[in-house]
Amino acid sequence: MLQLSKFPFTTLKTAPKVSDNRSTSLLLQWSYIRQAMAGSYEFLPMGYRIYKHIEQVIREEMDAAWYHEMLMTILTPKEYWEKTGRWEIDDYFKVPGHSGAEYRISPTNEENVCAIMQEYIQSYKDLPRCVYHIQKKFRNEKRAKSGLLRWREFTMKDAYSFHANKEDFDNFYEEVKKVYTKIFERLGLWNDTVISDADGWAISDQNSHEFQTFLDIWEDIIVQDSTGYCYNLELASGVPDDKNVEEEEKNMEYIDTVAEIVNMEKMTEYFESPDWQMLKTVIYKLESWRYFGIAIRWDLSINEIKLWNFIKEKYDWQTFELAWEADLGKLGTVRWFISPLKDSKLDVDFYGDGSLKTVKNFFWWANAKAKSTKNVNLSDLSISEFWDFNEPKEWFTSMNIEWEKLTFRRASEVGNIFHLWDKYSKPFKINYLDQNNKTVDQIEMWCYGIGVSRLMWVMAEYFMTEKWIAWPENVAPYDYYIIVIWEDYIEQATQIAKKLESEWKSVILDDRMWRKAWFGQKAGDCELWWIPNRIVVSCKTEEKGWYELKMSWEDEKIIQL
Amino acid sequence: MLQLSKFPFTTLKTAPKVSDNRSTSLLLQWSYIRQAMAGSYEFLPMGYRIYKHIEQVIREEMDAAWYHEMLMTILTPKEYWEKTGRWEIDDYFKVPGHSGAEYRISPTNEENVCAIMQEYIQSYKDLPRCVYHIQKKFRNEKRAKSGLLRWREFTMKDAYSFHANKEDFDNFYEEVKKVYTKIFERLGLWNDTVISDADGWAISDQNSHEFQTFLDIWEDIIVQDSTGYCYNLELASGVPDDKNVEEEEKNMEYIDTVAEIVNMEKMTEYFESPDWQMLKTVIYKLESWRYFGIAIRWDLSINEIKLWNFIKEKYDWQTFELAWEADLGKLGTVRWFISPLKDSKLDVDFYGDGSLKTVKNFFWWANAKAKSTKNVNLSDLSISEFWDFNEPKEWFTSMNIEWEKLTFRRASEVGNIFHLWDKYSKPFKINYLDQNNKTVDQIEMWCYGIGVSRLMWVMAEYFMTEKWIAWPENVAPYDYYIIVIWEDYIEQATQIAKKLESEWKSVILDDRMWRKAWFGQKAGDCELWWIPNRIVVSCKTEEKGWYELKMSWEDEKIIQL
């Protein structure tokens, strides 16, 4: 349809000073968006057209698969969140109603969709069930960022699927990956997007993945090797560098130390040794009040996701937390003076990070104040099991190819597929009758997210050039930009616009006629907004019987219309 | 795109018992929607397709005019609402954030749009400015209704326009009405939709209108006559029926009455006279603590909107409220014993409703307990002005055509156009430089609403038949419903679906193959969902080399595909 313009919001002379991120500044300055408050943006007409084009690509590909679009509510009853134990989560909004009623404006919709499915899944015939919706989501962020990621209000495409069992889902899985791949291909991101394994916090699985687009400024780090191994840093593994493994093992000795040396810098200085030769032990408390400790090289850190994946199996899915000073007191020790030496009397299960095997003759605290040990080796320790607990560093090598350095790249998550097991379906009591008319109360649930508004930011960053954002043609706000030089030509320009629209092209007609809205400004805005095709309607072009058509990124062409 | 179905949610055997309204029950039973909680609905796949079709009609017509679509935020800062004095409104939600921050989830977006325009309207060149968005809205309803109208969460198309002056808007006005007319035409409602004058509460104007669709069950009442006069009951005027105007005026007499007679039934009984011969005076207090009284026939009631339109002119836009018992005490009287008799000593301005002229020889209270008057006539009263204060009754006649009875019809508001003057633009300090580079701080603002989700309910009610909702073809969930009788034919059916989709038709493929998903159920669902075209793919149809195509509301046709 022809925007009989009164032209939409014009570009700004300077970028509003609300973001230190360049792509956001461009989005603001070219009037694609406006910041409503920290972490919340309004889409102005030009930006909303881009947003809608992105949304439409996602919708078409979801529909082309087997997903049915629906629309769930934003306001949800407190009871839903109490069922799954998520009511008290601090960064989800609570909304008071009348007479003590409380609601939540949804940050995510697992609860909603389970409440619906509880009614609509009755029989094996109703499975699998696949739905999605595209809707605003809300987070009560403590520190909403002005630029990129931590938003109070944003749009998600969230899809959910329900399956009788994991095998049923497996038939779908490759299809789902294809859908996502197609979406990022159509949006021009696929060349720099990878699928990283995402074994989530509480659940580990081969059916959870994140789609990550490489972007230098972004905060996630992707760890890759040339075999296709691709993990988020939080979940990646690598081979730590061997240190003094050639050295001969010496006998352990106790030495007196000054009690005040309680940090690594002072310790390395005191012993005149590098940090990797120091060791540390971190003590955790399980919900059963049993304690365990992890010993690791001091230059490495413990990855708590890996830790959880190990501990849940050992201690029957018990949760755990760092031991407090008071806990250590009960154990008869204090922080900094804990070690799994064989003569230790501590009632603690000790596990060791694999990196301990890369160093010989460690320095270590004894289990007493002002006492240290030197020349500690594995034979001096009572460690019941070694495991990969560490977060890889850039000097680690691949586990798959000897000597190959891991590649670390900054990236932004653009989509994900998570296996939720029965975490949400169970509290909502979704069950069904199977072929034998028996009730089955176990439903496997997956969720699939794409942050639509976030994707627009990722694309802005990805397609940003020195001056503007070179949107892919299928996402650009309009197909054609018609510049009218003089009022007499508005009628003619309108005819051209109508012709183009009858061919399903979208057209913006720049009919600004006030003083100073001269050609340069119009051509400039056309370029800033990255409208692929430009037509100039003027006395000059009329004289010659043709209109000028220019592809912004190609040579000028002259066409007869 | 082909929905490679896993079929969407199937219809329910019985309607969920959450509504006593039949169209809502049908929407629920045929799985178009699901109630999330009172006053809040989820759109299930079939219903959401209908909703999106309605939304798209509105979007296309808004775009075809000069309106630019954008998307404002749902979460808005408290400051916006404080600026316009609307923060404390009881049925708008307040949402607590961290550190004492408070937000509102928007019930309407005048504040949002003014905050944006304050930045984007700088010069006369930026005017007029016309935008709209389609977004969820929220109301903290005390008693959300299960069926129709009072919703906690709903979708609105709200448009806003900003003009240098009212004359500028007048150029637009007829166009806007055309846009709305076109929308309701395309949705099949126009034959039973009228444009009623809507002089809003605080503002009276020839540029505010409501679009009302006649529906017997609805709560609004439209008053019409054959001249095109069309008003909401709240705003309508008519000519009250003459009563005993032929009678001779008698002399007023004071009579003693029993003090306890303090209601109309007792009074009419006591005086053995009809209620219309009794008169009442209602006393109001202005914000300046001055009092005024309105005298009216007891069988009629005062319309407070008309009253406000009269009083605001008399008393310089002062607000007013009903006088309290204590106020009347200060005046030296009590409720029920107030009248504008000439010998009254009350310091009150008295005005009379025009209906006083239709009756002679009234009964009336004197300004004292246990005292009444009879045979009161206008000459006995000190009334400074007569005005139309009453709410018309069905026995009133048209003001335009003598003797013509007014028509009262139940209707539902489907759209509106309101003149907001500078009520919102002023607090947000929107101003601009005119051609002479002078600052103008007066901007005229209009708003235009269409309740999109509400419109779907109106259409359900309007197009409801005995068994289903006969949606107009352009709104029906799909164009084609393909019934597959046997698994062997799925491939063939898929080919047909793809062919139709390549011709821009939408197709649902009913491939339910489990026991009991027999032809009857599939054909039944097709009919219940009102899919206009049905194709059956079976051995029978294959044998004959053709597929069966049936228009739901026409004869069966056989076509070669």
Spatial separation of the C-alpha atoms in residues B41 and A116, rounded to whole Å? 11
A112–B36 C-beta distance less than 8 A: yes
Q: Which of B48, B94, B152 sits opposite A70 (nearest CB)?
A: B48
Spatial separation of the C-alpha atoms in residues A280 and A301, rounded to whole Å? 10
> Is residue A498 one of the residues assigned to a domain?
yes
Best residue in B4, B6, B81 for a mutation probing chain A (most A CBs within 10 Å): B6
Q: How confident is the model at residue B9 (pLDDT cuts 50, 70, 90)?
A: confident
Res A403: pLDDT? 87
Number of domains comprising chain B: 3
Q: How confident is the model at residue B206 (pLDDT cuts 50, 70, 90)?
A: low
> Nearest CA to CA, how far is B323 from chain A (Å)?
29
ipTM: 0.86
Strand residue runs (E) in B238-324? 253-256, 279-286, 291-297, 320-322
Res A429: pLDDT? 96
User: Tokens 């007569």 identify what position?
Assistant: B386
Best residue in A6, A81, A133, A160 for a mutation probing chain B (most B CBs within 10 Å): A6
* pLDDT tens column, B487-508: 888 888 888 888 888 888 999 9
Instruction: Examine the domain organization and report whether A224 and A275 are in the same domain.
Output: no
B95–A6 C-beta distance less than 8 A: no
Closest CA to B103 of A71, A86, A111, A144: A144
CB count within 10 Å of CB B520 equals: 9
Angle, vertex CA A368, rays to CA A362 and CA A374, nearest 5: 20
* pLDDT tens column, B449-458: 999 999 999 9
The CA–CA distances, whole Å, from A347 to A171, A280, A294, A379, B145 equal 48, 18, 14, 19, 62
Which chain B residues are closer than 8 Å to A68 by Cβ? 3, 8-9, 45
Which chain B residues are closer than 8 Å to A71 by Cβ? 42-43, 48, 51
Lowest-confidence range among A12-16, A422-426, A434-438?
A12-16
> Is residue B160 one of the residues assigned to a domain?
yes
The answer to whether B153 and B138 have CB atoms below 8 angstroms apart is yes
> Is residue B216 one of the residues assigned to a domain?
yes
Which chain A residues are closer than 8 Å to B10 by Cβ? 126
* pLDDT tens column, B82-121: 999 999 998 899 999 998 999 999 999 999 999 999 999 9
> Nearest CA to CA, how far is B440 from chain A (Å)?
18
Instruction: Examine the domain organization and report whether B173 and B62 are in the same domain.
Output: yes
Q: Which of A36, A37, A69 sits opposite B45 (nearest CB)?
A: A69
Lowest-confidence range among A133-142, A415-424, B166-175?
B166-175
Q: How confident is the model at residue A2 (pLDDT cuts 50, 70, 90)?
A: very low
Which chain B residues are closer than 8 Å to A9 by Cβ? 68, 120
Q: Considering B426, B461, B496, which residue would you say is the last residue of a domain?
A: B461
To the nearest 10 degrees (0 to 180), the angle between helices B22-29 and B452-462 is 100
Angle, vertex CA A94, rays to CA A93 and CA A96, nearest 5: 145
Q: How confident is the model at residue A203 (pLDDT cuts 50, 70, 90)?
A: very low
> Nearest CA to CA, how far is A204 from chain B (Å)?
28
A116–B44 C-beta distance less than 8 A: yes
Minimal-distance CA residue of chain A relative to B153: A75
Res A3: pLDDT? 39
Q: How confident is the model at residue A202 (pLDDT cuts 50, 70, 90)?
A: very low
Q: How confident is the model at residue A551 (pLDDT cuts 50, 70, 90)?
A: low
Instruction: Examine the domain organization and report whether A115 and A219 are in the same domain.
Output: yes
The answer to whether B213 and B184 have CB atoms below 8 angstroms apart is yes
**Where is pLDDT greater, at A422 or A367?**
A422
The answer to whether B486 and B551 have CB atoms below 8 angstroms apart is no
Res B559: pLDDT? 57
The overall average pLDDT reported for chain A is 86
Instruction: Examine the domain organization and report whether B362 and B492 are in the same domain.
Output: no
**Where is pLDDT greater, at A187 or B340?**
A187
Return the CATH number at B341: 3.90.960.10
Return the CATH number at B412: 3.30.930.10
Q: How confident is the model at residue A7 (pLDDT cuts 50, 70, 90)?
A: low
Q: Count of alpha carbons within 13 Å of A521, Cβ hemisphere only? A: 15
A36–B112 C-beta distance less than 8 A: yes
Instruction: Examine the domain organization and report whether B347 and B445 are in the same domain.
Output: no
Average pLDDT over residues A345-354: 90
> Nearest CA to CA, how far is B308 from chain A (Å)?
30
> Is residue A15 one of the residues assigned to a domain?
no
* pLDDT tens column, A448-497: 999 999 999 999 999 998 888 999 999 999 999 998 888 888 888 888 88
Q: How confident is the model at residue B269 (pLDDT cuts 50, 70, 90)?
A: confident
> Is residue B152 one of the residues assigned to a domain?
yes
- Name the H helices within A86-213: 110-120, 166-186
Minimal-distance CA residue of chain A relative to B139: A97
Instruction: Examine the domain organization and report whether A178 and A132 are in the same domain.
Output: yes
Average pLDDT over residues A494-519: 83
Instruction: Examine the domain organization and report whether B356 and B322 are in the same domain.
Output: yes
Which chain B residues are closer than 8 Å to A131 by Cβ? 45
Lowest-confidence range among A114-123, A212-221, B259-268?
B259-268
Strand residue runs (E) in A333-473? 349-353, 362-365, 371-376, 385-387, 407-421, 432-433, 439-440, 444-451
Instruction: Examine the domain organization and report whether B196 and B273 are in the same domain.
Output: no
Instruction: Examine the domain organization and report whether A262 and A340 are in the same domain.
Output: yes
Spatial separation of the C-alpha atoms in residues A537 and A533, rounded to whole Å? 13
Res B191: pLDDT? 95
Best residue in A43, A70, A99, A121 for a mutation probing chain B (most B CBs within 10 Å): A70
Average pLDDT over residues B178-184: 95
Res B201: pLDDT? 40
Average pLDDT over residues A2-9: 55
> Is residue B8 one of the residues assigned to a domain?
no
Spatial separation of the C-alpha atoms in residues A342 and A373, rounded to whole Å? 12
Instruction: Examine the domain organization and report whether A182 and A57 are in the same domain.
Output: yes
Asked if the model's pLDDT at residue A252 lies above 80, the reply is: yes
The answer to whether B275 and B299 have CB atoms below 8 angstroms apart is yes
Which chain B residues are closer than 8 Å to A10 by Cβ? 126
Strand residue runs (E) in B398-529? 407-421, 432-433, 439-440, 444-451, 480-484, 507-510
Closest CA to A159 of A178, A133, A180: A133
Q: Which of B42, B44, B94 sits opposite A73 (nearest CB)?
A: B42
The answer to whether A458 and A213 have CB atoms below 8 angstroms apart is yes
Q: Which of B43, B76, B514 sits opposite A125 (nearest CB)?
A: B514
Q: Count of alpha carbons within 13 Å of A62, Cβ hemisphere only? A: 23
> Nearest CA to CA, how far is A481 from chain B (Å)?
16
Res B456: pLDDT? 95
The CA–CA distances, whole Å, from B164 to A5, A386, B119, B125, B131 equal 17, 76, 16, 10, 16
Which chain A residues are closer than 8 Å to B120 by Cβ? 9, 31
Which chain B residues are closer than 8 Å to A6 by Cβ? 66, 128-130
Spatial separation of the C-alpha atoms in residues A136 and B78, rounded to whole Å? 20
Average pLDDT over residues A73-90: 95
Query: Residue A450 has which token pair?
Result: 């794409």
Instruction: Examine the domain organization and report whether B181 and B90 are in the same domain.
Output: yes
Res B419: pLDDT? 87
B94–A96 C-beta distance less than 8 A: yes
Which chain A residues are closer than 8 Å to B77 by Cβ? 36-37
The overall average pLDDT reported for chain B is 86
Res B400: pLDDT? 85
**Where is pLDDT greater, at B486 or A275?**
A275
Cut 0.80: pTM above it: yes
**Residue A24 CB partners (closer than 8 Å, separation 6+):** A146, A147, A148, A457, A460
Asked if the model's pLDDT at residue B2 lies above 90, the reply is: no
Instruction: Examine the domain organization and report whether A352 and A325 are in the same domain.
Output: yes
Best residue in B37, B51, B55, B182 for a mutation probing chain A (most A CBs within 10 Å): B37
Lowest-confidence range among A82-86, A256-260, B75-79?
A256-260
Res B17: pLDDT? 77
Query: Residue A290 has which token pair?
Result: 């049993």
B74–A36 C-beta distance less than 8 A: no
Average pLDDT over residues A424-428: 96
Q: How many helices (H) and strands (E) does chain B have?
A: 12, 29
Mapped to the 3 state alphabet, what secondary structure does A348-383 carry? CEEEEEHHHHHCCCEEEECCCCCEEEEEECHHHECC
Average pLDDT over residues B368-380: 83
> Is residue B39 one of the residues assigned to a domain?
no
Per the structure, the complete domain to which residue A415 belongs is given by 48-72+111-237+409-461
Q: For the residues of A235-298, what is the DSSP string, one character each?
A: G---BPPP-STTSPPPPPEEEE--TT--SHHHHHHHHT--GGGBEEEEEEEETTS-EEEEEEET
Res B53: pLDDT? 97
What b/e readout covers B369-393, taking b as 16+ CB neighbours within 10 angstroms? eeebbbbbbeebbebeeebbbbbbe
Which chain B residues are closer than 8 Å to A95 by Cβ? 93-95, 105
- Counting one residue from chain A and one from chain B, the pairs whose CB atoms sit within 8 A come to 157
Res A206: pLDDT? 62
Closest CA to A148 of A245, A303, A22: A22
Lowest-confidence range among A119-123, A198-202, B349-353?
A198-202
> Is residue B133 one of the residues assigned to a domain?
yes
State the distance between the two ends of chain A, measured CA to CA, in whole angstroms: 19
B75–A153 C-beta distance less than 8 A: yes
Q: How confident is the model at residue A352 (pLDDT cuts 50, 70, 90)?
A: very high
Strands B220-224 and B407-421: antiparallel
A140–B98 C-beta distance less than 8 A: yes
A94–B93 C-beta distance less than 8 A: no
Res A251: pLDDT? 93
Query: Residue A62 has which token pair?
Result: 């979801």
* pLDDT tens column, B305-336: 889 889 988 998 888 999 988 888 888 777 76
